[in-house]
Amino acid sequence: MVIRHLVSRLFAATKMDENKEKTLAALLNSASRYIIYALAAMLILDLFGVPITALLAGAGVVGLAIGFGAQSLVKDIITGFFILFEDQFHVGDFVEINGTVTGTVEELGLRTTSIREWSGRKVYLANSEINRVRNFNRQQLRAIVTATFPFDEDPVRVRATLEEVCRDMVEQHRDYFLADASGALIEPPQIYGVTDIDKNDKGAQVTIIALTKPQSLWTVEKVLREMVWQKCNAHGIRLAYPRRVYETQGGSTLSLAADALGQESGDWGERAGQFPGQPG
């Protein structure tokens, strides 16, 4: 506790980035624990009459003997220092490690790094196992939300409705988006345009884009989808869904939703897979 307090007081006097302060503080706390444990062990041995000088003299031989078994530990510590000094990530950053673990960095220690996943699960990784790091806090992330409308919907009404969605998104959730030094949004929510004419004849796909803060990407995409759905319902604009048109022998046509026939369209699963690691 004393060491932690001293470290906190030290960083309080600096103008260092807050996340970097947390990272260095966690590393120093981790290192100080090992040092304190080692000193405490030597003091206890001295109290029992064990000659510390002789013990330290023999430590070289013992260290050589166990060194081969502690190679992974040494590698973890060295890698931890490289992660810190290469500034790969800090405590509080949202990262993806080795393409398998995604979450917020909670602690960077001498030997391990702990990640809190979106599900709440805490994952510990040996520093030497960290090979590939994707730091979302160092990137400009673009929210990409698509909606498909039937071909018989009025494109002018569709555009007007989506523009209303974009305006409301800025008014209600401005803090989610990246801004420049003057406070102006770099890329506010906007209609990118018609990005696909659906090959299954469901309709025309329209895409909305916006540059978001790293921690807000998935929230922006979810809120945008919900607002598109709500606004379209309010304005009587239909969203497209898979349909099948059948012609009878008498020449009349019958249009049925694919779901009514017990058929599944793979498009929705593909769309959900556009954003790996996205919380549901």
- Residues 55 and 70 occupy one common structural domain: yes
- Residues 158 and 60 occupy one common structural domain: no
- Residues 24 and 121 occupy one common structural domain: yes
- Residues 201 and 119 occupy one common structural domain: no
**Cross-strand partners of 107:** 114
Residue ending a domain, among 138, 153, 182, is 138
99, two tokens:
């393409």
So what's the pLDDT on residue 140?
A: 79
- Residues 131 and 71 occupy one common structural domain: yes
Question: Is residue 272 included in any domain, yes or no?
Answer: no
First vs last C-alpha separation in the chain? 39
- Residues 35 and 54 occupy one common structural domain: yes
Distance between CA atoms of residues 28 and 36, nearest Å: 12
Confidence of residue 269 (pLDDT cuts 50, 70, 90): very low
Q: What is the longest distance spanned by two Cα atoms in the chain?
A: 106
- Residues 11 and 125 occupy one common structural domain: yes
Confidence of residue 248 (pLDDT cuts 50, 70, 90): low
Residue ending a domain, among 111, 138, 165, is 138
Contacts of 94 (CB under 8 A, 6+ apart): 102, 103, 104, 105, 135, 136, 137, 214, 215
Distance between CA atoms of residues 192 and 200, nearest Å: 22
Q: Record the pTM.
A: 0.59
Q: For residue range 2-18, list pLDDT tens digits in order.
A: 555 554 555 455 555 55
Question: Is residue 275 included in any domain, yes or no?
Answer: no
- Residues 124 and 177 occupy one common structural domain: no
Beta-strand pair 94-97/101-108:
antiparallel
- CA distances for 171 relative to 138, 165, 177, 183, 235, angstroms: 26, 10, 11, 14, 20
60, two tokens:
């070289």
CA dihedral (45, 47, 52, 58) in degrees, to 10, reads: -30
Q: How many domains does the chain have?
A: 2
Beta-strand pair 141-149/133-135:
unpaired
Is residue 118 over pLDDT 80?
yes
The 3 state secondary structure assigned to 186-254 is: CCCCEEEEEEEECCCCCCEEEEEEEEECHHHHHHHHHHHHHHHHHHHHHCCCCCCCCEEEEECCCCCEE
- Residues 171 and 199 occupy one common structural domain: yes
- Residues 78 and 202 occupy one common structural domain: no
Q: For residue range 147-200, list pLDDT tens digits in order.
A: 999 999 999 999 999 999 999 999 999 999 999 989 999 999 999 999 998 766
For residue 65, give its domain range. 2-138
- Residues 124 and 154 occupy one common structural domain: no
Distance between CA atoms of residues 235 and 158, nearest Å: 9
Give the position of tokens 């062990």. 41
So what's the pLDDT on residue 24?
A: 60
Question: Is residue 255 included in any domain, yes or no?
Answer: no
Confidence of residue 105 (pLDDT cuts 50, 70, 90): very high
Q: Which of 2, 3, 22 is nearest to 11 (CA)?
A: 22
**Cross-strand partners of 208:** 145, 191
* Mean pLDDT over each residue of the chain, to the nearest integer: 77
Q: For residue range 34-55, list pLDDT tens digits in order.
A: 667 677 776 776 677 666 666 5
CATH number at residue 189: 3.30.70.100
Question: Is residue 231 included in any domain, yes or no?
Answer: yes
Question: Is residue 265 included in any domain, yes or no?
Answer: no
- Residues 71 and 195 occupy one common structural domain: no
